[in-house]
Structure 1
Amino acid sequence: MKINLYILSSLLISLVILSCKKEVTPTLSLSANQADIANVDGKTEISVTSNSNWTATISDIWCTITPKSGNGNGVITITASNNYSSEARTASLQVVCQELKKTTVINQSFSQLTVDSENLIFVKEAGTKSMSILSNTQWQLDMSSTASWLTANITSGQGNGSVSFTVQANTAGPARSTTVIIKYGISQKVITISQNKSQNTAPAAPATLTPADRATNAKTIPAFTWTASLDPENDPVTYTVSYTKDNINWTELTTTATLLYLKSHLSESTLYSWKVKATDSEGASSTSAVATFTTGLKSGYADGEYRIHMNSTAGVNGKAAEILFLGDGYTAADFQEGGLFEQHITEGIDHFFSIEPYKSYKNYFRVYKQAAYSNDSGVTQVDKSITKSTAFSSSFNGGSSISANNDEVFRYAKMIPGVDDARLKKMLVILVINQDRYAGTTFMWSDGTAVALCPVSKSASDGSKFKNVIWHEAGGHGFGGLGDEYINFTNQTLPAANKTEAINWSSYGFFANIEVTSDSTAVKWKHFFKRQGYDEKLGGRVGIYQGAYYYSFGAWRPEVSSCMIHNEQYYNAPSREAMVRKILTNSGYTYDLDEFIRLDVQKMPVNAVMVYTKSVNPLLFVPLAPPVFIRR
Structure 2
Amino acid sequence: MNIKFSLFLVVLSSLLFAGCSSDEGGDTTSPFTVSTSTEGLTLDSEKGSKMAISFHAKESWRASVDADWATVSPMTGSAGDNTIQLIAKSFNNTGSVRQGTLTLVSASGRETICFSQQKTDVVNLEQSEYKVGVEGGDLSVKFSSNIRGYKLLVVSQGNAPTWIKGKKDANVKGGTDVGAGEGLEESEYQFTISANDTHESRSCTFYIRIVNPDNHDEIYITSGMFTIVQDGLPVETSTDYSRNNTVKLLQQHSVGAGVPVVIMGDGFVDTEHNSGRYDEVMRQAMEQFFTEEPATSLRDYFDVWQVNMVSKNNAFGTGYKTALDIVMQGGGSSDVRGNFDKIVAATKNVDDMKTLSRLREALVIVVVNSPQRAGTTNFGISFEGVMSNFAIAYVPLINNDPTGEDFRSVLCHESLGHGLAKLLDEYAYEANNTSVPTSDVNKYRNLQTAYGWAANVSFSATNTPWNHILADRRYQKADAYGEKLGVYEGACGYMHGAWRPTDDSMMFHNQHGFNAPSREAIYKRIMATAYGAAWLYDFNTFAEFDQAHLPQPAATHAKAHAKTRAAGAFQIVGEQPTMLGKPIIGRP
The TM-score with structure 2 as length reference comes to 0.51
SS of aligned partner of 1:349: helix
1:497 corresponds to = 439
2:293–2:550 Cα contact (<8 Å) kept = no
2:267–2:314 Cα contact (<8 Å) kept = yes
Cα drift, residue 563 of structure 1: 0.6
> Does 1:341 find its partner at 2:266?
no
Larger Rg: 1
Q: Partners of 1:408 and 1:314 in 2: how far apart?
A: 31
1:575 corresponds to = 518
Q: Partners of 1:537 and 1:370 in 2: how far apart?
A: 41
1:362 corresponds to = 299
2:352 corresponds to = 418
| Superposition CA RMSD, Å | 3.1
Q: Partners of 1:602 and 1:388 in 2: how far apart?
A: 45
1:304–1:372 Cα contact (<8 Å) kept = yes
2:425–2:582 Cα contact (<8 Å) kept = yes
Q: Partners of 2:424 and 2:241 in 1: how far apart?
A: 42
Residue identity matched to 1:320: G
Q: Partners of 1:609 and 1:491 in 2: how far apart?
A: 35
> Does 1:402 find its partner at 2:336?
yes
Gaps of 5+ in 1: 1-256, 264-301
2:260–2:358 Cα contact (<8 Å) kept = no
1:235 corresponds to = none
Q: Among residues 594, 598, 603, which one is paired with 2:544 in the alignment?
A: 598
1:626 corresponds to = 582
Between 1:565-574 and 1:501-510, the stretch displaced more is 501-510
Q: Deviations over 1:351-404 (max 9, x none)?
A: 1101111100000000000111111113x24xxxx5421110001112211110
1:534 corresponds to = 475
1:59 corresponds to = none
Residue identity matched to 1:400: S
Cα drift, residue 424 of structure 1: 2.0
1:532–1:540 Cα contact (<8 Å) kept = no
Count of paired positions: 327
Q: Among residues 524, 530, 545, which one is paired with 2:465 in the alignment?
A: 524
1:536–1:543 Cα contact (<8 Å) kept = no
Q: Partners of 2:299 and 2:574 in 1: how far apart?
A: 33
Cα drift, residue 305 of structure 1: 1.0
> Does 1:261 find its partner at 2:211?
no
Q: 1:602 to 1:621 in 2, by over 3 A?
A: farther
1:472 corresponds to = 413
Q: Deviations over 1:164-216 (max 9, x none)?
A: xxxxxxxxxxxxxxxxxxxxxxxxxxxxxxxxxxxxxxxxxxxxxxxxxxxxx
Q: 1:389 to 1:497 in 2, by over 3 A?
A: same
1:309 corresponds to = 250
Residue identity matched to 1:396: M
1:327 corresponds to = 265
Q: 1:546 to 1:375 in 2, by over 3 A?
A: same
1:492–1:551 Cα contact (<8 Å) kept = yes
> Does 1:513 find its partner at 2:450?
no
2:327–2:336 Cα contact (<8 Å) kept = yes
Q: Partners of 1:333 and 1:610 in 2: how far apart?
A: 32
Q: 1:258 to 1:618 in 2, by over 3 A?
A: closer
Q: Partners of 2:578 and 2:255 in 1: how far apart?
A: 38
1:322–1:367 Cα contact (<8 Å) kept = yes
Q: Deviations over 1:536-593 (max 9, x none)?
A: 5899822111111111111001111111111115001010011111111111144322
Cα drift, residue 495 of structure 1: 2.2
Cα drift, residue 509 of structure 1: 2.5
Q: Partners of 1:340 and 1:613 in 2: how far apart?
A: 23
Q: 1:573 to 1:259 in 2, by over 3 A?
A: closer
Q: Deviations over 1:489-528 (max 9, x none)?
A: 4421222222112212222332110110011xx3111111
2:378–2:587 Cα contact (<8 Å) kept = no
Q: Partners of 2:435 and 2:276 in 1: how far apart?
A: 49
Cα drift, residue 469 of structure 1: 1.5
Q: 1:495 to 1:356 in 2, by over 3 A?
A: same
> Does 1:375 find its partner at 2:312?
yes
Q: Partners of 1:470 and 1:537 in 2: how far apart?
A: 26
SS of aligned partner of 1:418: helix
SS of aligned partner of 1:327: strand
SS of aligned partner of 1:491: coil
Residue identity matched to 1:487: A
1:459–1:465 Cα contact (<8 Å) kept = no
Gaps of 5+ in 2: 1-235, 382-386, 564-572
Residue identity matched to 1:595: T
Q: Deviations over 1:241-278 (max 9, x none)?
A: xxxxxxxxxxxxxxxx9984252xxxxxxxxxxxxxxx
> Does 1:390 find its partner at 2:322?
yes
